[in-house]
A and B are shown apart, each in its own frame.
Chain A
Amino acid sequence: MTDAQKYALVATGLLFSFVAPFLLPQFATQLTMLWLMVIFALTWDTLGGQMGYNSFGNILFFGIGAYGCAVIQRDLGLDYFAGLAVGLAFAAVLSAIVAIVLGAGMLGLRGHYFAIGTLGLGIAAGEIAGGWDYVGAGSGMVPPLYPVELAGRELFFYFLMFALALVTFLVLRALYATKFGLALNAIRDDEDKAEAMGLRTTQVKSLAWAVSAFFLGIGGGLAGNLLGFIDPRDVAFAGATFGVWMVLMAILGGKGTLWGPVIGAVVFHITQELFWTYLLGWQRVALGLLIVAIVVFFPNGILGTLRERFPEWFGEKVEERV
């Protein structure tokens, strides 16, 4: 692919993203969810793909964001839009702080210990939220309603979520192009070597998790408002759906690449929306089958496979001096 073709493709995609909710108003909510999926996959990949720390519990920050935002909206007594804005900011900061605090302990764990440890965190959080009266315990929370007198609720959330996905993508793209991005890759490839070379790995890991949590937290706050209901186990800390999808979408598109998670999220979400309603309750069995199949037979994902076939597309070349 030439650069011009790539730009044309991206421009088409962007254009479509702007007009999609007007062209397909009946699918506005699904399209909004699509951007949430993109945020899921992108933020998971910061650790899982770029840094090699496979978190099974990133859903934690989504849930913290959902609850954090809703609590602010409930308790501050601001009008709807001010409350939402403050709530989302709070969700982002709270998630990032939790990531830094937890990261101090968790990010010292490596490999499968980190994976299972984070899995435990995600589920523990759901169980705690499910028993804690301050956040509604098992019956969850209902964020304030979008003002009824105003039209365009769907469009409002669509463009907020789209903007968040876009900003997340651009920020991560900029980060991956810095020394910080390279430090993430170095930790992924050989953390002992990175330490032996004097890199401040602990700081790098914490910041990476905090960035990931920051955007996931906002995503959680938005999703809670979009869905209109925060259930501790089935929405906020939904490890068996959102939590697994994050991992799956990133792998499907190609771990450790910039566009892989985006592609994976789009493919996964569209497939799911198109076909899964026909599975009549067997979707989750299919999800399990899909995980096994992708992990076993397609672990490099779409972009990883392309890279194996066409390494020169990705800038790998022998360059003789002239």
Chain B
Amino acid sequence: MSETAGFPIVAGILSVLFGVLIVAALSIWLERRLLGLLQQRSGPNRVGPLGLLQVVADTVKIFAKENWVPPFADKVVFVLAPPIVIATALASFAVVPLAPGFVVADFNVGLLFFLGMSSLAVYGVALSGWASNSKFSLLGSVRAVGQMVSYEVFMGLSLLGVVAQAGSFSLVDIVNAQKGLWNCVPQALGFAVFFVASLAETRRVPFDLPEAENELVAGYHTEYSGFKFAMFYLGEYVGVTLNSAIIVTLFFGGWSGPFLPPIAWFLVKTVFFIAVFILVRGSLPRPRYDQLISFGWKLMLPLALVNLVATGAIVLATAGPR
């Protein structure tokens, strides 16, 4: 774990933290406006210019609500679950390089750190459903655990092609290895699998079966309200922001790009992928649960393996004798 030279670590952590939270809050606004556009309605447009302050108004409303824990719930676990969701997503940003030299921790197993944190996010969902002690919550979190553990596998496998090309788990090295050609071209298959897997990891449409509102009320967060619900809600958007940032870092050259400063390129690309996540939500229906699981194991897993074997073969053939 190395600290980059001339870069005060605390200021770095704080700026990344607040930057991420602001982007996540803005993506809530972006989602509601874009979905409005897609469904030929206005979306929020009353509070502030273009409805930009709607998120602030919602925050005030949510903070004013009663901080309630159901009497039948397991209190400690119930309160513990929402912070797990948001903390694991925020912690992953530590290893994402936003610009040359602007990374909180250039960790030599940075990519594995991201995978570890996203596999821990399962606990937030699983424990919230269990602690709520209600049937809808439990069903939602049983679904979420099955889905997230399955898609975690393909997520990891789809990234190994990138690792093989860069020869390192460090995200800075991976960005630097894309100087000539962005990974989205040679790793197109890996990118496709990773994109689908990250949709499933963030539990968004079409993979929102854990919180399918017409079957399960609200799934694992049925019993949550007020500030604790806000953590789930914001956590979802932090997750979307994180997965967009990781896609940009691994497959679209990170900060690189002409004319604009690196950080601006990174932001532009990330916001683009947040918008893609939103448009996918606006246009796809929700599959059945067994379809979801067999799609993963019967299509995504073989694709990820084919990608990994092919990448390995090409890397081996071009590298020459070791």
A, B in one complex: no
